[in-house]
Amino acid sequence: MQPYLHQINHPLIRYTNNQVTGGATFTQEPFGDTSNLNYSQWNYKWTIPLSSSSLRHENPFPLWIPIGGACPNKNSKDEEEKSNAEILLKNTPKKKAVQWEYTSFHSATYGRIIYDDVGFDRLLKSMKNGNYIDDNVKLQLLADEYYYMKREKNANRPYSYDRFLNLANAIFNSEPFIVSPSYSIFAQAQPALEEIARVYRDTIDAPLISRLYKKMFLNVYNSLLWEDTTSWDTNTFAEVFLPFAVRYDIGDVKNRTMNMFANVKTACGDSLNGTAWCNPYTTNLRKAIYCGAAKYSDLTSDYFYKLFVAYNTEVVTNPYFYQEYMALLEGMSCTQLPATLKTLIRLFSSSTLNQNTLFGFLKYNPVASDVLANYIVANQQVVNSSSLNAYLDSMTYNWDSYSRFVQFENLMETLDLTSEQKAVFQTYLDRVNSQDHALDKYFLSERNRNKMALRIFNRLRKKAIGTYSE
């Protein structure tokens, strides 16, 4: 255990299963950058216990990677590689690369495992073919893919969400997950799903995200009963997933939440102290119901007004029991109407609750950023508010284009800012700029599209009038 205790790092195990015949191989390397770390007598290597399960050997069997070697292909002709074969335990089943294998099965590696593309594809096919995989393995597979992706991103190397999305799609559409959804697995995937949505939420391609998540989650959504169950995992999953389903219009969520809120409205019609005691639905369903009522109601409906009144009476009656009034606030943040969003912004700006949490709800609302931008122009006293940081963070959270950068610069010029306020604004201007440049690296960003369009225009202009400049 000394290498684990005395080295500020942990191992990355690369698993290669890309041959038609022959065994799989393992190698190790430090997961984090070691360039600024002190010398280590173990050279940032570890003795790593692995536990595998395969098509022919479903019962887990042990493997070891020693501190000085790798786990080689047993059929390799390389003598130096063969010399390390001692790390395979004597009773290890003979492995063939033509079959799938999970090396993270009940593993205690204290590190991350990344599969080569061929081996990874075999894992996905095994899930799609209905092979049973323990939930802990699914959780570790998602976590390893996500943190490896962040590792490459932080090192300024090319990275892709493709493998993570394929893995998530296979897991969430597997029969065991549909029948018994796992909160922990969804919670592990949610940050990456949000990162992907954030990239597209402020673009013309935003509808593609809803289409993607409908494909990914429709089956499990249809299996949920919208009622209390005896399973803590299923109930907790429903509490977190169903608001997500509302935001991305999955299944019949519109009709269902509108009908359910109509029942809440009837049940709480005479209430003078909020909705906690009279709402006929269990608490794990209420965020989704309130979100649907706010999102899908129009100006002719009184649903948002009922939510707002319920919040005001709830927070007065039960100020120390926040579950219900926070569910109401989060639900109201789903509204798509500028008028009701302005009402929320006024409420959030003057609230004594945590304003990062309150304005954080609006980050996931695709229409909120423009309302926030217009509101601060019309109500410039916002710059003097203690909520300024939270306000700007929410407003610019999805902004990563050149036009948004220019918009934010112009906004700064129209406001009378102190030096401290300018520093706050500059922080978020820099973030918008950095996010735009991040897209430049891996996508054809708006800035590059505009440059390309200008060059095409100038070339056409040159042909037309004989003058041309880049």
pLDDT per residue as tens digits for the range 340-390: 999 999 999 999 999 999 999 999 999 999 999 999 999 999 999 999 999
User: Pick the residue with more confidence: 467 or 309?
Assistant: 309
Q: Is residue 80 part of a domain?
A: yes
> What pLDDT does 223 receive?
96
Structure token digits, residue 434: 């950095």
Per-residue pLDDT at 461 exceeds 70: no
Closest CA to 17 of 125, 127, 102, 139: 102
Alpha carbon distance 201, 363 (integer Å)? 10
> What pLDDT does 464 receive?
54
Q: Are 116 and 17 in contact (CB under 8 A)?
A: yes
The 10s digit of each residue's pLDDT in 376-429 is: 999 999 999 999 999 999 999 999 999 999 999 999 999 999 999 999 999 999
CATH code for the domain of 110: 2.60.40.1910
Per-residue pLDDT at 301 exceeds 60: yes
> What pLDDT does 216 receive?
97
Alpha carbon distance 24, 436 (integer Å)? 41
User: Pick the residue with more confidence: 445 or 266?
Assistant: 266
The 10s digit of each residue's pLDDT in 5-32 is: 888 899 998 988 787 766 678 889 999 9
Q: Is residue 2 part of a domain?
A: yes
Q: Is the dihedral of CA 263, 269, 270, 273 positive or negative?
A: positive
Alpha carbon distance 220, 170 (integer Å)? 12
Q: Is residue 109 part of a domain?
A: yes
- Local structure of 85: helix, strand or coil: helix
Half-sphere exposure of 32 (CA within 13 A, CB side): 8
Q: What confidence tier does 94 reach under pLDDT thresholds 50, 70, 90?
A: very low
Rounded mean pLDDT, 304-332? 95
User: Pick the residue with more confidence: 38 or 462?
Assistant: 38
Report the amino acid identity of residue 171. I
333 secondary structure, DSSP code: T
Question: Which three-class secondary structure string do you get for 429-440?
Answer: HHHHHHHHHHHH
> What pLDDT does 420 receive?
96
Q: Is residue 73 part of a domain?
A: yes
Q: Is residue 53 part of a domain?
A: yes
> What pLDDT does 393 receive?
98
Q: What confidence tier does 110 reach under pLDDT thresholds 50, 70, 90?
A: confident
Cβ-based neighbours of 91, under 8 Å, separated by 6 or more:
61
Q: Are 64 and 48 in contact (CB under 8 A)?
A: yes
Q: What confidence tier does 97 reach under pLDDT thresholds 50, 70, 90?
A: very low
> What pLDDT does 64 receive?
80
Mean pLDDT: which of 89-103, 301-315, 446-460 is highest?
A: 301-315
> What pLDDT does 108 receive?
57
> What pLDDT does 91 receive?
43
At 451, which helix (H) or strand (E)? helix 446-465
Rounded mean pLDDT, 44-60? 78
Q: Is residue 197 part of a domain?
A: no
> What pLDDT does 23 receive?
65
Q: Work out the percent of the chain whose per-residue pLDDT is above 70.
A: 82
Percent of the chain that is helix, strand, coil (3-state, to 5): 60, 5, 35
Alpha carbon distance 315, 296 (integer Å)? 24
Q: Is residue 48 part of a domain?
A: yes
Q: Is the dihedral of CA 455, 459, 464, 466 positive or negative?
A: positive
Q: Give CA separation, 377 vs 202, 370, 416, 420, 430, in Å.
A: 20, 11, 11, 19, 20
Q: Give CA separation, 344 vs 9, 26, 46, 213, 372, in Å.
A: 45, 54, 53, 28, 10
Q: Please, what is the average pLDDT of the chain?
A: 86
Q: Give CA separation, 215 vs 220, 226, 271, in Å.
A: 10, 20, 40
Rounded mean pLDDT, 132-146? 89
Q: Are 140 and 104 in contact (CB under 8 A)?
A: yes
Which residues face 64 on adjacent strands? Answer: 49
Q: Is the dihedral of CA 135, 141, 146, 150 positive or negative?
A: positive
> What pLDDT does 5 receive?
86
User: Pick the residue with more confidence: 212 or 80?
Assistant: 212
**Cβ-based burial of 52 (10 A; exposed 0-12, middle 13-18, buried ≥19):** buried
Report the amino acid identity of residue 220. V
Q: What domain count does the chain have?
A: 1
Residue numbers of the domain that contains 41? 1-131
Note the Cα 183 to chain centre separation in Å: 14
User: Pick the residue with more confidence: 96 or 431?
Assistant: 431
Q: Is residue 465 part of a domain?
A: no
Alpha carbon distance 280, 283 (integer Å)? 9
Structure token digits, residue 263: 């029942």
